[in-house]
Amino acid sequence: MKIGILMSTGPEHQNGHTVFALTEAFLATSHEVHLFLMDDGIFHIVKKNKIGIVAKLEKLLSKQMCVSICTQSAEKRGISESETLSGVQWLSQHTLARIVADSDRFLSFGT
């Protein structure tokens, strides 16, 4: 089963912990997971993030999970690729529409 997840809230929000717990559970049961980060959600993949979510996400990336961020959101917040975890795809919101269409289930976490 393909699971698409959108998260637009930053690392200080509870959504991050919920999304990562769900993602670990989905991966443990052999589901394909594609996480798309936009708006303040992109801060989950910034290496200098001190909240600790980055380490959890890096662990999930090693499990072949697909993670992408909205290029426009990153540019608007002054984040460059060199500041982010390796293995994260920089995509458009047009691609997000394809992720939604291709997913068997789609979850959205925002404010």
**Domains of the chain by start residue, with CATH:** 2-109 (3.40.1260.10)
For residue 104, give both structure tokens: 């068997």
Backbone angle region of 77, left / alpha / beta, with phi > 0 → left and psi within -120 to 50 → alpha: alpha
59-83 pLDDT, tens digit per residue, is 777 777 899 999 999 999 999 999 9
Please provide the average confidence, as pLDDT, over all residues in the chain: 90
The pTM is what?
0.91
